[in-house]
Structure 1
Amino acid sequence: MSKASDTVRQFTVGTDDDGIRLDRWFQRHLPEANFNIVSRWARTGQLRLDGARATPGDRVMTGQVIRVPPADGAAQAERAPKPKRPVNPLSADQTEFAQSLVVHRDAAALVLNKPPGLATQGGTGTTEHVDGLLDALVFDAEGRPKLVHRLDKDTSGVLLVARSSRAAAHFAKAFSSRTARKVYWAIVVGIPEVNDGWIDLPIGKQPGTGGEKMHVDEKEGSPARTRYRVVDRVGNRAAWVELQPHTGRTHQLRVHMAAIGHPIVGDGKYGGREAFLTGTISRKMHLHARRLRVDHPDGGQIDMRAELPEHFAATMIDLGFTVAHGDALPLDEVKFSETPEGKRRLVANKAKAARKERKGERRARGTR
C-alpha cells in the first residue's frame, strides 16, 4: 500500500489484500473511516477504484488504485482511532525460545512445534502463550503473524501460523471447511475393543463448569466425529492410538476417548484417577499433534510432522513402542463434497437449479 497525496489520497492494493471487499480494506488500513463514512463517500462519488465509482462491497485486486477523499474533522470525530494497548517487549530469552519452536517457514506460513504447558492464547490468569510470542516471529514479513487455529495448553505438536492477512483467510477457510487434515498421537489407558473405528458422539458444555469442561450431550451437543486406530499395545495396560478429528469441537479427542472408557494418559480432567499409569510413566498429558497437511495459498501443500516432547518420547521407549510404526499409517482422504462447505455448496447448487427450472416453466407458459 502506497500513499500518493496528502489531500486526495491514493493507495495501491497490495498482494495481501487481493480479492477482499473494499470495506474490509478500510478496516485493515484506514480504520478511522468506518462503514458509514465509506458509504457516504461512495454515495457522493468521492470513492473511486481505478478511476471508476466504487461501493463498499466491491472486490479489490492487486495493483488497483483506491482514491480516497481527504480526511475531515467529522470523519475523525465519528470514529477516532483507539489507542494501541502497550506491548511488553520480549526479552532475548523469549525471542530465542519462540524462534526455537519454528519447524517450517515460508512466505505464507510458519509451522511451530508447541510444547506442552504453553497456552495458544491468553486468558484469565494466563500470561505466557504463543500469541504473546508472535512478535519474535516476524522475520522478513511486513506484519505480525496471525493464529489460525489452536491447541489445548497441555497438548503438544504442530501449530500453523499465517504470515499475512491473505494467508490467514486461506488457512482459516481450510480449517473451518475441514479440508485441512490433522493427525494426533495419544497413549490411552486400556485397550479399545475395536482396533480401527469411529467415535460419533455429540459434545456440549458441561453445566456448572463455566464452559471450562465439555461432555457428551446426546440432546443438545454439537456433532463430533473422531477416527481412531490402535497402533500398538502393551498387554491390557495401555495402547498407542492415532486420532484423526473430522470435526473440531473443544476437547473433542479427550472427551471421546474418555467416553469409550479409555482416557488419555495424564488427562485427569476427563479421566480422573484412572488416567494415570503407575511406575515411571509421566503424569503429563500424552496427546500430541503429530502431523498437519493443508493446501498452501500459493499452490501445493504444507505437510509437516512435529517431534514428540520429552515425556511422551520417554513413555514410548518405556512401553516398547516404535515411532516409525505410527508414521507408516495412511492419512484419511476427505472428499470436498463431504465437508460442511461442500455440503452447503451442493444444497445451494440444487436450489439454484430448481429456480432456473421454475423460471423456464414460467417462460414456457407465457409463450402459449
Structure 2
Amino acid sequence: MDAGEQAPYEDQPEELYERRTFTIDSGQEPMRIDKWLQQRIEGATRNKLQQSIEAGFVTVNGFGVKNNYKIKPGDHIVVLSFTNPEHTEVKPEPLPLDIVYEDAAVMVINKPPNMVVHPGIGNYTGTLLNGVAYHLLEQNPGITEEELPRYGLVHRIDKNTTGLLVLAKTAEAAAHLAKQFFNHTVERKYIALVWGDMEQNEGTIVAHVGRHQRFRKMFDAYPEGEHGKHAITHYKVIERFNYVTLVECRLETGRTHQIRVHMKYIGHTLFNDWEYGGDKILKGTIYTKYRQFVENCFALCPRVALHAEILGFQHPVTKESMFFQVPLPDDMRLVTEKWRAYIKPVG
C-alpha cells in the first residue's frame, strides 16, 4: 500500500494500524524528521506528526527519536498510522463493559456477541468503542481522539465473535501495543466449533487471506499468494463430536475473517457461520431427528461459534508479561455440551 493510500474498512486486518517504511536516499541533505515526513505522507499535519513521534509511532533504525532529529542517508524509518478511512465520530455512550483488567495504560475487555467493535456505516451507536469513549471520558474529561486515536483501539474482532480485546489508554501505550501486533508477539488463542471430524490432531494453515473475487463482502484463501495478505493459523483439536470438532486456533497473523476463511479452506467451516455456509448441515446423517438436533443447536448458538479465549502481551509501561483467559460464553458452552451428550453412548 502506498504512503497516501487507504484500503476500504472491510479490507483492514484485525490490527488497525498500518506500517509505512522509508529508506533515506544517499543524496539526502539533513532535515528534521517531522518536516521530511510531512512532505511524503498525504494529509499529514506537522502537529499530528510531532504527536506521533513523541508517542513512539515513528522509529528510526529501530529506535524512537525526537521531533528535532535530523535524518541522514541510509536511515530506515518506520511509521505506524491509524487506518480510519470513514472518520466516523465516536459518540460516548454509557454502555455495559465487561472489563477484565484496567490500569493507567491499558484495559482488557471481554466482548459479548452481537456487538460491533467500532462505529462505521450502519453502526454509528451501540458499539464497544462508544462505551469505551464514555468510560475514558469519565476518568479524564479532557481526553480527545486527537491525542488518543479511536480511544486506544489497536485491534478488533468480528461482531459475532466473543472474547478478549486490549485497548490503550495513552498514545504511548497504543504505539507500544501496535508494534507488538506487527511483530507477532501478541498471544491470541481462539476456541472454534467447526464442521467435520478433523483428520489431524494439530496443524498449521498457511494461505493468503483477501477479498473474495466474486462476493466482495466475503474473504477467501489464496494458497499461492496471488491475492490478499500473508496469513498463518495454528490449530489443535480439543474434543471430537463425530460430526463437529472443538478446536483451538492460534493466530500468528491477524487478517479479517482469518480463522473463518482458513478453516473453510481446509474443509472445516465454522459451525453456524452463515457468511461461509456453516449455517447448513455440512456433516452427519439424513435423518429428521438429526436435522432437528442441529437446528436446535443453531438456535442455542445463533452466531458463528468463535471465541477469543486467550490474550497475552507485554505491558507497554511495566514490560511485564500479561496473560488473560476468559471461559466460553453460555451459547458456545451449551451447544458444546449438547453435542457431547448427543454422541455419548447409551448405557
- 2:113 maps to 116
Q: Secondary structure at the match of 1:223?
A: coil
Say yes or no: does 1:306 pair with 2:311: no
Q: TM-score, normalised on structure 1?
A: 0.61
Q: What displacement does 1:143 show?
A: 3.0
Q: 1:191 to 1:88 in 2, by over 3 A?
A: same
CA distance 1:37–1:207, change in 2 (3 Å): closer
SS of 2:277's equivalent in the other structure is: helix
- Counterpart of 2:173 in 1: which secondary structure? helix
- In structure 2, the residue corresponding to 1:317 is in which secondary structure? helix
One-letter amino acid of the structure 2 residue matched with residue 229 of structure 1: K
1:231 paired residue among 234, 238, 260: 238
CA apart distance, 1:89: 5.1
SS in 2 for 1:150: coil
CA RMSD across the alignment: 3.2
Q: Which has the higher helix share?
A: 1
Out of 190, 195, 205, the residue aligned to residue 199 of structure 1 is: 205
Q: Give distance in 1, aligned partners of 2:88 and 2:212.
A: 34
Corresponding residue for residue 132 of structure 1: 130
Q: State which structure, 1 or 2, has the greater radius of gyration over its C-alpha atoms.
A: 1
The separation in 1 between residues aligned to 2:247 and 2:129, in whole angstroms, is 30
AA at the equivalent of 1:143: I
Task: Give a deviation string over 1:304-341, Cα, whole Å, max 9, x none.
Answer: 112322211211222339xxxxxxxxxxxxxxxxxxxx
- Paired residues of 1:265 and 1:283 also in contact (CA < 8 A): no
Name which of 97, 103, 107 aligns with 1:106: 103
Gap regions ≥5 residues in structure 1: 1-20, 28-32, 40-54, 60-83, 322-368
Partner residue in 2 for 1:58? 69
Alignment map for 1:268-347 (pairs within 5 Å): 268-272=274-278, 273-274=280-281, 278-281=294-297, 282-297=301-316, 298-320=318-340
AA aligned opposite 1:278:
V
Counterpart for residue 177 of structure 1: 183
Q: How far apart in 2 are the matches of 1:121 and 1:87? A: 8
Distance verdict in 2 for CA 1:143–1:216, change over 3 Å: same
C-alpha distance in 1 between matches for 2:197 and 2:100: 33
**Offset at residue 302 of structure 1 (A):** 1.6
Q: Which runs of 5+ in 2 are unaligned?
A: 1-31, 39-43, 51-65, 71-86, 145-150, 284-292, 342-347
- CA contact 1:185–1:288 (8 Å) conserved in 2: yes
133-142 vs 197-206, which moves further = 133-142
1:191–1:167 CA distance, 2 compared to 1 (3 A):
same
Instruction: State TM-score, norm by structure 2.
Output: 0.64
Amino acid at match of 1:137: H
Distance in 2 between residues matched to 1:293 and 1:261, nearest whole Å: 29
Give 3-state SS (helix, strand or coil) of 1:278's partner: helix
Give matches, 1:13-52, under 5 Å: 23=34, 34-35=45-46
Superposition map of 1:206-285 within 5 A? 206-210=212-216, 212-217=217-222, 218=224, 219-234=226-241, 236-272=242-278, 273-274=280-281, 278-281=294-297, 282-285=301-304
Secondary structure class of the residue paired with 2:215: coil
Q: Deviations over 1:161-219 (max 9, x none)?
A: 11111111000111111000100000111111111111112222112434x21111232
Three-state SS of the structure 2 residue aligned to 1:152 is coil
| Amino acid of the structure 2 residue aligned with 1:299 | K
Change in Cα spacing, 1:105 to 1:229, as seen in structure 2 (3 Å) is same
- 8 Å contact kept, 2:88–2:119: no
Q: Which residue of 1 aligns with 2:156?
A: 150
Cα deviations by residue, 1:126-172 (Å, 9 ceiling, x for unpaired): 13311222223215456364101100111110011111111110001
Per-residue deviation, 1:123:
1.7
CA–CA separation in structure 2 for the residues paired with 1:301 and 1:181: 11
Structure with the greater relative contact order (CA < 8 A, sep ≥ 6): 1 or 2? 2
Q: Give identity over the alignment, percent.
A: 32
Q: Confirm or deny: 8 A CA contact 1:113 1:158 kept in the other structure.
A: yes
